[in-house]
Structure 1
Amino acid sequence: MLNDKEFQAFQEGIFKDYFKKYIMFKRGKGEKVTHSTLIRLKSLNQELTLSCDSLEISHEVAEFILREREKESPSSRGLRVSDFRQFSAFLRSLGIVSYEIPRKYMKKVYVPFRPYIFSEAELGSITVAADQLSQGRRSNTHCQVYPVITRILIGTGMRIGEVLSLRIKDVDMADQLIIVYKSKNNVSRYVPMSESLSATVGKYLSKIQHRHESQRHLFISPYTGTGYSYDAMKYMFRKIYSAAGVRTPQGRLPRIHDVRHSFCTASLNRMLESGMNLYTAIPILAAYVGHVNLSDTERYIHLTEHGYSDFIKKESNLSSLIPEVCDEN
């Protein structure tokens, strides 16, 4: 569902109801719709309102809206193209005529990015900080919810959107499983829980008021009566990271998604250390975290200087694939 502020952002235009449905569709799949995404979608709605006389998006309208703008960076334009492409595909799935943006509409923009990889000590500090959150003026529910969400993220590597979308029925305490239904790329999967995580989730379930209403969200915001928003998570995790004293080398607070990167990296390291071959380990990890393509998993594997030599030693047959650097003349 959209909260009041989000709802007010789409009150005009012939496409307004479809933008609301589109946002709920994305959230229903476990995808996060951030504040910046909402701003871009609001802008797109306004441009379509000015450019379209009917519920149809022509090639000419698409080209006009996606034209290059003065002083706009390639990455910003790339986001606009991506938003338009996905919304257009959503409209077509509903039988509405909308121009299909080609995959190679614009040159892919390479944005160098390296996430922050937490150490085990830092993850421990984050967990302690979540456990010690101070009580709020209006509600203390967050003191009960965030320690559990934090442990699920650290212990499973799930996407934050997947965690927020969980229903009570999605937790199988008998088999110690979390069931993720139709998340990103429409992938469903079982996520095993460790003994300690299962105990934490079981204890939480025993305390919540509506534990027998299987269709209700597992984590319910006391302010909205529905699931927590990504913006709420972003706000609270900044507080948790700050209290834990965890910052990147540049002095910034890490992102929530960095926990998933850290999980994937640590999990691969453990599998390799156990003697598992890389070509066996990556498909297993991909299935666990819900990736469709192995290339998606490879983006999460971040070799630190500490682990690089061990990796090459264990996978020496890969050394021929690493290009040599030409000597200077």
Structure 2
Amino acid sequence: MINDKEFLKFEEGFFKPYFEKFIEFKRGKGEKVASSTLIRFRKMNNSLNQYQTNQISEKMIRELLAPRNGLSEIERQYMASNLRQFCSFLVLLGVNAAAVPPKYMKITRCEFRPYIFSDEELHRLVVVADSLSPSYRTKSHQQIYPVLVRMLIGTGMRIGEVLALKREDVDPINGVVKVINGKNGVSRYIPVSDSLKMVLSSYAETIDMSDEDKPFFISSYTGGHLTYDAMKYMFPKMFKAADIYMADGKTPNIHSIRHTFCTRSLEKMLDSGMNIYTAIPILAAYVGHVNYMDTEKYIHFTERGHKDFIEKEASLGSIFPEVIDE
């Protein structure tokens, strides 16, 4: 149930209980419904009440989303997105609600273009991580980065999630990594491949795992968690040493390793015979997405066409990529 205080300013009317269910539904999926979103839902509920009806028609959608004074273009886009989701939710509950036409949904252009690593490039990256020289202040580079790189490649975890790991979050015996309050507040357990399990076990033997609250990857400079700034320094160096460059001559973004994991994992799942409509929900749960559209953004068809992907159908084999060794 949502907090009564949160819902106090929602005007009484036909749609109010549906907004309450809608908010519970979103939170049940692990989505964070921020105060700003609640305010937008309240305004939408109050606007719908003016029509004094128990349905949402195409005419109502046109009027609600029409440009007007006092409504910025950004707010209008938020309204279009929220209304589209709410109408779809109402239809699932049997309420007559028209679909928001695609013309109201602005296509956003993202500057980031992921780079999909080849298997050979990932192999070279691992070799470079294994060959790092100690810095003048610490030898931890040689100990940490071979494990950290393999974890990114073998789990598709966000770099922030890997850096935030505590020793209590990693079970090297059973090969399970626990992510607590990841992006959008989502927590999950991540089973790893046998090869990565061996890597984690070997690394765990070099640190005191009984001190559960300490970082799994500890900075020898600060004694705390490794920072993202350190990653932004180290990974371009490793990409250059591994001779990995994008078409524009720049080194890839760290996040591209996650994109590569999602793409390669889906390929492997479909090659095993799994149907795409079964594979994507499993992959979404594994990588910690709150909805399937997030996962679809990470899928990049690389070696075969879309038709080849969706025609697969059969039993599930191993879906977790093995870590790359020499």
Which category of TM-score, normalised to the shorter sequence, fits these structures? 0.5 to 0.7
Q: Does 1:273 align with 2:271?
A: yes
Q: 1:275 to 1:297 in 2, by over 3 A?
A: same
Q: Secondary structure at the match of 1:158?
A: coil
Q: 1:242 to 1:314 in 2, by over 3 A?
A: closer
Paired position in structure 2 for 1:71: none
CA offsets 1:134-186 (integer angstroms, 9 cap, x no match): 11111111111111100000000000000000000011123210011111111
Q: 1:248 aligns with which of 240, 246, 252?
A: 246
Q: 1:313 aligns with which of 303, 308, 313?
A: 308
CA offsets 1:13-53 (integer angstroms, 9 cap, x no match): xxxxxxxxxxxxxxxxxxxxxxxxxxxxxxxxxxxxxxxxx
CA RMSD of aligned residues (A): 2.5
> Which whole-Å CA distance do the structure 2 matches of 1:133 and 1:102 have between them?
52
> Which whole-Å CA distance do the structure 2 matches of 1:203 and 1:226 have between them?
21
Paired position in structure 2 for 1:283: 281
Q: Secondary structure at the match of 1:207?
A: coil
Shift of 1:105: 2.5
- One-letter code aligned to 1:307: R
Q: Secondary structure at the match of 1:105?
A: helix
Q: TM-score, normalised by structure 2?
A: 0.63
**Which runs of 5 or more structure 2 residues have no equivalent in the other structure?**
1-32, 40-70, 78-105, 313-326
Paired position in structure 2 for 1:65: none
Q: How much identity, in percent, do the aligned residues show?
A: 50
Shift of 1:315: 2.2
> Which whole-Å CA distance do the structure 2 matches of 1:218 and 1:106 have between them?
44
Which contiguous aligned blocks of 4+ residues in structure 1 show a shift greater than 3 angstroms?
A: 86-89, 101-104, 106-109
Q: TM-score, normalised by structure 1?
A: 0.62
Q: Secondary structure at the match of 1:178?
A: strand
> Which whole-Å CA distance do the structure 2 matches of 1:233 and 1:112 have between them?
21
Q: How many residues matched?
A: 219
Q: 1:211 to 1:112 in 2, by over 3 A?
A: closer
Q: Secondary structure at the match of 2:205?
A: helix
Q: 1:215 to 1:112 in 2, by over 3 A?
A: closer
Paired position in structure 2 for 1:233: 231
> Which whole-Å CA distance do the structure 2 matches of 1:141 and 1:303 have between them?
37
Paired position in structure 2 for 1:139: 138
After TM superposition, the structure 1 = structure 2 runs for residues 118-267 of structure 1, keeping only pairs within 5 Å, are 118-208=117-207, 210-267=208-265
Which of the two has higher C-alpha Rg?
2
Q: Secondary structure at the match of 2:246?
A: coil
Shift of 1:113: 4.3
**Which runs of 5 or more structure 1 residues have no equivalent in the other structure?**
1-85, 93-100, 318-329
Q: 1:87 to 1:135 in 2, by over 3 A?
A: farther
CA offsets 1:235-293 (integer angstroms, 9 cap, x no match): 10111111100111111100110000000000000111111100000000000000000
- One-letter code aligned to 1:187: V
- One-letter code aligned to 1:312: K
